[in-house]
């Protein structure tokens, strides 16, 4: 069995298309989508593309998916900064029209998958106890030990911070695949293959064409997304500096 972990796609369909092309060359037999499929520019198209795959696909819910689902149900949680509210409402409207509410509602917060050569792997969005907690490769281990203790698995895959890492926390190996659609660091689409060994992957794709497609959508922040999340993402150093101030302590 070879499992692809695709995290934080954020409605970037061109990036997802490129990853799935590479995925088929990598002899992947199952896909785990680790949350935050939406919001952002092409939510309906991205969901449809994943749901139509001819491979077994398992989804977990990220905080973005959860917030969009709340708005689909007419609820405002107050958890999202004001500058992102319009895009959240737009995404909810797009998915409500396509009747995707039951799909998002069916996704669990985590799953466990038995992978030969690795053992039982826990997939979650941010941490095993939360879909919003922030930690990076720089977060001191002592702040993370209580979160990863007692899980009874050798390996955990987390996302949410959009930067790849491979570290050990109290004897548990913890991986972040990075982000397919909204990377922090060098442009491209980041993902992970889990089999007899772990392989971090980065897929290059036509960034100019992707930016043009995104700018052609009705997404309220389309031009900003194309510029800041496709063509020239924030650097890893810049993002680590920001996340260090809000990381687990």
Q: How far apart, in whole angstroms, are the C-alpha atoms of residue 112 and residue 146?
A: 20
Note the pLDDT of residue 62: 97
pLDDT in tens, 96-121: 877 899 999 999 999 999 999 999 99
pLDDT at 74: 87
The domain ranges of the chain are: 3-246
pLDDT at 38 exceeding the cut of 80: yes
Query: What is the CATH architecture of 3-246?
Result: 4-Layer Sandwich (3.60)
Mind listing the pLDDT tens digit for each residue in 188-243?
999 999 999 999 999 999 999 999 999 999 999 999 999 999 999 999 999 998 88
Mean pLDDT of 2-29: 96
pLDDT interval class at 244 (50, 70, 90): confident
Q: What percent of the chain has pLDDT over 70?
A: 100
Residue 243 is predicted with a pLDDT of 87
pLDDT at 20 over 90: yes
Q: In this model, does residue 248 exceed pLDDT 80?
A: no
DSSP per residue over 114-157, as a string?
A: EETTTEEEEEESSBTTBSS----TTS-HHHHHHHHTT---SEEE
pLDDT tens, residue by residue, 43-88: 999 999 999 999 999 999 999 999 999 999 988 777 777 777 888 8
Q: What is the pLDDT of residue 82?
A: 72
Please give the Cα distance from 209 to 139 (Å, whole number): 36
> In this predicted structure, what is the pLDDT of residue 75?
85
**93-96, Cβ contacts within 8 angstroms, sequence gap of 24 or more:** 94/43, 94/44, 95/38, 95/43, 95/44, 95/47, 95/68, 96/72
Tokens of 9: 């796609």
Backbone dihedral angles phi then psi of residue 57, each to the nearest 5 degrees? -130, 130
What is the token pair recorded at 248?
């687990």
Going across the sheet that includes 119-124, the strands are 110-115, 119-124, 155-157, 172-176, 165-169
């Amino acid at each position: 069995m070879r499992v692809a972990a695709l995290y934080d796609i954020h409605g970037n369909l061109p990036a997802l298309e490129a990853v799935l092309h590479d995925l088929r060359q990598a002899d992947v037999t199952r896909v785990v989508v680790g949350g935050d499929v939406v919001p952002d520019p092409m939510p309906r198209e991205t969901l449809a593309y994943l749901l139509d795959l001819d491979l077994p696909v398992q989804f977990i819910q990220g905080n973005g998916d959860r917030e969009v689902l709340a708005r689909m149900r007419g609820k405002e949680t107050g958890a999202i900064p004001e500058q992102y509210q319009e895009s959240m409402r737009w995404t909810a409207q797009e998915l409500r029209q396509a009747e995707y509410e039951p799909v998002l509602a069916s996704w669990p917060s985590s799953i466990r998958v038995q992978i030969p050569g690795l053992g039982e792997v826990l997939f979650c969005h941010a941490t095993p106890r939360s879909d919003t907690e922030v930690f990076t490769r720089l977060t001191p281990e002592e702040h993370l030990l209580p979160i990863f203790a007692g899980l009874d698995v050798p390996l955990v895959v987390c996302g949410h911070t959009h930067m790849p890492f491979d570290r050990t926390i109290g004897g548990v190996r913890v991986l972040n695949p990075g982000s397919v659609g909204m990377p922090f660091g060098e442009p491209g689409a980041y993902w992970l293959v889990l089999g007899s060994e772990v392989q971090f992957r980065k897929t290059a794709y036509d960034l100019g064409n992707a930016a043009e497609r995104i700018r052609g959508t009705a997404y309220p922040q389309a031009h900003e997304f194309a510029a800041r999340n496709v063509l020239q993402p924030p650097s890893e150093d810049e993002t680590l500096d920001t996340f260090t101030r809000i990381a687990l302590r």
